[in-house]
Amino acid sequence: MNYNIALIYGGNSNERDISILSAKNVELALNNLGYNVYKYDLKTDFDLFLKEYNNIDLVFNVVHGYEGEDGNLQKKLEELNIKYIGSNSIVSENTFDKLSFIKSIENKFSIPKYVNSGKYIDPPFEFPLIIKPRKSGSSLGVHICHDINEYEYYLKKEIDIYGDMLIQEYIKGREISVSIIEKKNEIIVLPILEIIPKKEFYDFEAKYTEGLTNFEVPAKIDKNLEETIYIDFKNIFKMLGLKDFARIDAIIKDNKYYILEANTVPGLTKLSDLPQSAYAYGLSFEELIDILIKNNI
């Protein structure tokens, strides 16, 4: 197919290496599908992209973390009037900001109790509790704090790195990942994936180290709860104005779900959640990528 796709990847965030892995998978799929692929590392090649973009039909963004997920890259592409896969700049910005995301859904859906702070505060919840950056991904900067010493050490450390931190009650339950895609005008909730990390939780190492996490897809959960999740998460996708694909993470406890966060540029590595859920639905990786492209042709 004589269709030119710019694959923008890499960038400057601490998720750069994961973005490079996602890009390799997507590049292979695009080549196998017969598209013309032009790769640009956001960190080193964006000036080159700006010189060549008039020859580009569509941008496939796989820049994880800030720049690629927080609306910055999307805004640049919008200013250039370039079509791209994924949610627009405003939706991306509001979703990458975990506080903004929580506030947009908390009146309709269950979430863990939380406090946001840019400075050290006394623990607002009983131990163990969770701290996580307001703006980050891949579980970087996320800690389960079991006592005041861990809490004080990690909160001060991560505030220095990330600024605002969310402090949340710790809900010990089953971790699930719900991937949602669009196929033209149809919103499809893919089979629910249960994450079973061998570590205490699904941190950066567990996410990207083969053998440290088991996955079950479709997850074995109560059918009524499963149906509720399908309906509710599809509504969240529409309510937030998400586009093409997204992933929403949650915890199940006592047959009730609690939403944790959403991701507008889900990982596309071999270990990533969305490709596994797509496969369980009956889609190969190439078919998944082709659906995302054809949404925008």
pLDDT tens-digit profile of 76-95? 999 999 999 999 999 999 99
The mean of the pLDDT values for the chain is 93
Residues 6+ apart with CB under 8 A from 145: 123, 127, 128, 129, 130, 131, 151, 154, 155
- Residue 86: DSSP 8-state: S
- Domains of the chain by start residue, with CATH: 4-86 (3.40.50.20), 95-109+173-294 (3.30.470.20), 114-169 (3.30.1490.20)
Residue 13 pLDDT greater than 70, yes or no:
yes
pLDDT tens-digit profile of 155-203? 999 999 999 999 999 999 999 999 999 998 899 999 999 999 776 655 5
Looking only at Cα atoms, what is the longest distance across the chain?
60
Amino acid at 289: I
What's the pTM?
A: 0.91
Contact 145, 131 (CB under 8 A): yes
